[in-house]
Structure 1
Amino acid sequence: MNSQPLVLASTSIYRSQLLATLQIPFQTTAPNVDETPLPGESAEQTSWRLSRAKAEVAAKRFPDALIIGSDQVALLEGQQIGKPLNHVNAVSQLSAMRGKTVTFYTALTLLNAVSGEMQTDVAITEVSFRDMSDDAIERYLRKEQPYHCAGSAKSEGLGIALISRIKGDDPNALIGLPLILLVGMLEKQGVRVI
């Protein structure tokens, strides 16, 4: 059994809550990575690159640990959608998504800071949104204020009312941490979850 400490390179309370369900002790650290997409980079490439970058930054602070990095990028009609960060941007995002399907790319990296071994994969989730009214969008945003969620809707909260369909292999990926992928990666590093 691997006894390396486990570190989540994220300050997201949602990722921490998801990781806590595995009942493995871990700590968190802020990765402080610029999340701006590079010119010509696809949404999947952006999520992949950022999940690795977050793990690499954290590994410098925790050179004896297993580091988890994760990043999520949403794609609507060829345009990357990030975190809205404010009400005006969230209204714009949700208005653009009504009646459409958005693809969420949630990349996951597990980096063994001791050996340098890095595993990275991406979970893809397609989310179809209802054709919601302007009033419904406003009511939702006032109640939940999901300004730090890519795509402006929290499926694990009231945002589920905006969604008509979710298609993907891991229900946790949409929240921000693909646990099915993570369990497999941890097992390859000698960490037994159960």
Structure 2
Amino acid sequence: MQASFNPLPRPLVLASTSPYRRELLARLRLPFETVAPQVDETPHAGEAPAALARRLAAAKADAVARQRPQAIVVGSDQVADLDGVALGKPGHHARAVAQLRAMSGRTVRFHTALAVRCLDSGYAADDVAVVQVQFRALDDATIERYLLAERPYDCAGSAKSEGLGIALLDAIVSDDPTALVGLPLIRTARLLRGAGVVLP
């Protein structure tokens, strides 16, 4: 009797409770579970946006890998960068208005960092995708209409490019199309293959 093919040498765990990252990882058609990483996401004093994204992605993957040493763990974090200043998740309407006003007519860089860990095998790999987003000039009425329609208060940069937020933009430049949504799948697939996962 022929053994069934298993593309996963170990359990796969997403170190995140983000519905956006969960939906993206599901596109790879691999079974996985999610575990909340319980990581303090407070920036360090003077920490650059890119460094913050990398540190938090690694911290999330490491925290869950310690709980599940036999698993392949994927951690990710995204930080919006406006002239070297990190823009986090707005959390509420007033802060989202302030973020969109600040980004109006400007280019914002989104750093989406990725870390894959497996303690039992010793595998550890990191990468980051940088997405340049050009916002069009936004007046207050446009900002208000958008925020009331989509309420993107849990998104870095206060806009969902996969939804109505695309209408706020003039251009997106990236070599990993899903990075702006929250998980760079080209890089994720590459690092998972490095961990021994079989993908198409």
Same fold (TM over 0.5): yes
What is the rounded CA distance, in whole Å, between the counterparts of 1:167 and 1:14 in structure 2?
20
What is the rounded CA distance, in whole Å, between the counterparts of 1:85 and 1:150 in structure 2?
9
Gap regions ≥5 residues in structure 2: 1-6
C-alpha contact 1:55 1:68 (8 A) present in aligned 2 = yes
TM-score, structure 2 length as denominator?
0.95
Whose radius of gyration is greater, 1 or 2? 2
SS at match of 2:158: coil
Q: Deviations over 1:24-49 (max 9, x none)?
A: 00000111211111112111110000
C-alpha contact 2:134 2:172 (8 A) present in aligned 1 = yes
TM-score, structure 1 length as denominator?
0.97
Tell me which amino acid in the other structure corresponds to 2:64. Answer: A
1:117 maps to: 123
1:22-171 correspondence to structure 2 within 5 Å? 22-171=28-177
Q: Identity over aligned residues, as a percent?
A: 54
Gap regions ≥5 residues in structure 1: none
Could you list the structure 1 runs, at least 4 aligned residues long, displaced by more than 2 angstroms after superposition. none
What is the rounded CA distance, in whole Å, between the counterparts of 1:158 and 1:101 in structure 2?
19
Q: Size of the alignment, in residue pairs?
A: 194
- Offset at 1:143? 0.8
What is the rounded CA distance, in whole Å, between the counterparts of 2:30 and 2:66 in structure 1?
22
1:173 matched to 2:179? The reply is yes
What's the Cα RMSD here? 0.9
2:4 maps to: none
